[in-house]
């Protein structure tokens, strides 16, 4: 496979990561507002400034929202969780492909 094709695929993986970031900035704030309005115990657990707080993001990645029997919370948090996974996968794949493309090129 040509190095240019691999670098193009790396660029595509980074673009997918950006798309995940777009979904994240839509669904995560909506999730946090829902938590603020209806689940004060979770709000206390996540702490202030939960948008980029590592503990809150780990709670999201672990699926901590599933312990709460609120289908609306799951409907907002699940896309946020998927978007974080897409961001991480896109960055990892893009990085690996970029290194391979540079090694071949």
Q: What is the pLDDT along the chain (105 residues), one digit of tens a residue?
A: 788 999 999 999 999 999 999 999 999 999 999 999 999 999 999 999 999 999 999 999 999 999 999 999 999 999 999 999 999 999 999 999 999 999 998
Whether 34 contacts 76, CB under 8 Å: yes
The pair of three-digit structure tokens given for residue 35, joined into one six-digit string: 């938590």
Could you give the dihedral angle defined by the CA atoms of residues 82, 84, 90 and 91, in that order, rounded to the nearest 10 degrees? -170
pLDDT at 21: 98
Query: pLDDT for 8-30, tens place per residue?
Result: 999 999 999 999 999 999 999 99
Answer for the pair 59, 46: CB distance below 8 angstroms, yes or no. Answer: yes
Q: Output the pLDDT for position 87.
A: 98
């Amino acid at each position: 496979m040509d190095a240019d094709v691999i670098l193009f695929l790396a660029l595509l993986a980074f673009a997918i990561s950006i798309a995940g970031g777009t979904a994240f900035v839509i669904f995560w704030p909506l999730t946090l507002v829902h938590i603020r309005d209806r689940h004060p115990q979770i709000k206390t657990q996540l702490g202030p400034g939960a948008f980029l707080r590592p503990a809150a993001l780990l709670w999201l990645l672990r699926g901590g929202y599933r312990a709460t029997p609120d289908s609306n919370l799951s409907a907002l948090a699940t896309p946020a969780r998927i978007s974080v996974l897409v961001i991480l996968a896109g960055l990892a794949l893009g990085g690996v492909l970029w290194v391979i493309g540079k090694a071949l090129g």
